[in-house]
Amino acid sequence: MSASLDSGPTPPPQTTRRPGASPAPAKPRTPGRLAELRGPGNPPRPLDARALAALAANPGCRRRALLDGAGIDKSALAAKLGSPAPFGQSQFAIVRGNSFEAKVKADGGRELLRLFGVEEPGEVSVPDLTAAGPSGRVARTALALREATGAGTWTLLDHPLLALEVAGSPVYLEPDAVVVRPDGVWTVVEIKSFPTVDGSADAAKVGAAARQAAVYVLALERVAAAAEGARVAHSVLLVCPKDFSNVPTASVVDVRKQRSVTRRQLARLTRIDEIADALPEGVGFDVTERSAEELTAAVESVPHQYAPECLASCELAFHCRSRSREADAVETLGRSVRGELGGLTTVGAVLAAARGEAGDPEDPAVAALRRARALRAEALASASARASREDPECPR
């Protein structure tokens, strides 16, 4: 369970005016402004750790930051724009994942502690974390973590709720589990349904799980800062099925690098209210009331930062890719390519620079392109000459 960025209190706006002047209309507070962008009949879509990790991986994309912050359904928006993205799990995968998670947490948490290498943990505490509303659950989770640290026994928190401030607004996050050791160390547990075959799992899926877990670690550290004797482990326990069976196996994943990167990238995110205030008057993303043309104009009014990696993590990636291709932008070739090309921002400019038709010869990127083109021409000429010697009738 999670909640959108427009949860939580926001201070009222402050305005200044000259004595005797008419009072200027105050801008809506951020939660009200985000609800206005989303549409009054549309509930906010929750922002989970997976989406937050993807957002942190591309902090320059204001479009995603605003849409996720406002809780807008990007899948419905992409479909209305004519560029739907195939995201989401099948019902079978969801049922299988829930069944596997229940098996991992069976026997009052003892099965999970065995994966920690603890065969006889003694009494395992599993506190009740129910409370009214997300704020109440966050407070109950913090209390349970402090009590578990003071008790000095093994404790399993099943689906605790944590809070993390992102772009000036709170985000609620729900890890699969957090285990508190008797020595006061808190460890995040990630339970995934992809298999570990012969001791190894898909590297891309493990990387995505590590980035997601790093978000939970950051949120836990905020709670641990106020709990005496508590320490958050920078390694998480990743639990997966073994060899396509339903038998769980676990591995320890160090997320220190992902944690540092995520913390730095989240700090770079522009505040949601700043992005919303920069929008033109009348812009909205109500997918139920606005036409495809209005939604297209609204989406295009927010700057985006497309990269091929977006295809695996953002529902609007196909729309942004098509717009980048129409603009002939080099971003469609990848972030690394974009970084190497410096001031050359379009594919046309790159080709012109390589052919010597444009560009500053002193520019390292231009010089490298021309050198690469010369090497390619040399290689093609050499191959053509060799083919002609071997077969005189072969066309050059």
Q: What is the pLDDT of residue 331?
A: 86
For residue 200, what is the DSSP state? Answer: B
Q: What is the pLDDT of residue 179?
A: 95
Q: Between 303 and 11, name the one with better pLDDT.
A: 303
- The fraction of the chain above a pLDDT of 70, given in percent, is 89
Mean pLDDT across the chain: 84
How far is CA 374 from each of CA 71, 352, 363, rounded to the nearest angstrom? Answer: 51, 14, 17
Residues 230-247 pLDDT 10s? 999 999 999 999 988 889
Q: What is the pLDDT of residue 345?
A: 84
Number of neighbouring beta carbons within 10 Å of residue 251: 16
pTM flag (> 0.85): no
Residues 98-155 pLDDT 10s? 889 999 998 888 889 889 988 887 788 999 999 998 899 999 999 999 999 999 889 9
* pLDDT band (50, 70, 90) for residue 19: very low
Provide the total of helices (H) and of strands (E) in the chain, helices listed first: 15, 8
User: Which sign does the torsion angle of CA 289, 293, 31, 262 carry?
Assistant: positive
**372: Cβ contacts below 8 Å, ≥ 6 apart:** 354
* pLDDT band (50, 70, 90) for residue 31: low
How far is CA 295 from each of CA 4, 74, 290, rounded to the nearest angstrom? Answer: 21, 12, 6
Q: Between 299 and 51, name the one with better pLDDT.
A: 299
Pairing of strands 235-241, 248-254: antiparallel
Mean pLDDT to the nearest integer, 53-81: 87
- The fraction of the chain above a pLDDT of 90, given in percent, is 35
Token output for 385: 């000459």
Residues 174-207 pLDDT 10s? 999 999 999 999 999 999 989 999 888 888 889 8
* pLDDT band (50, 70, 90) for residue 16: very low
Q: What is the pLDDT of residue 70?
A: 85
Residues 339-393 pLDDT 10s? 888 888 888 988 998 888 888 888 888 898 999 989 988 898 888 888 877 766 6
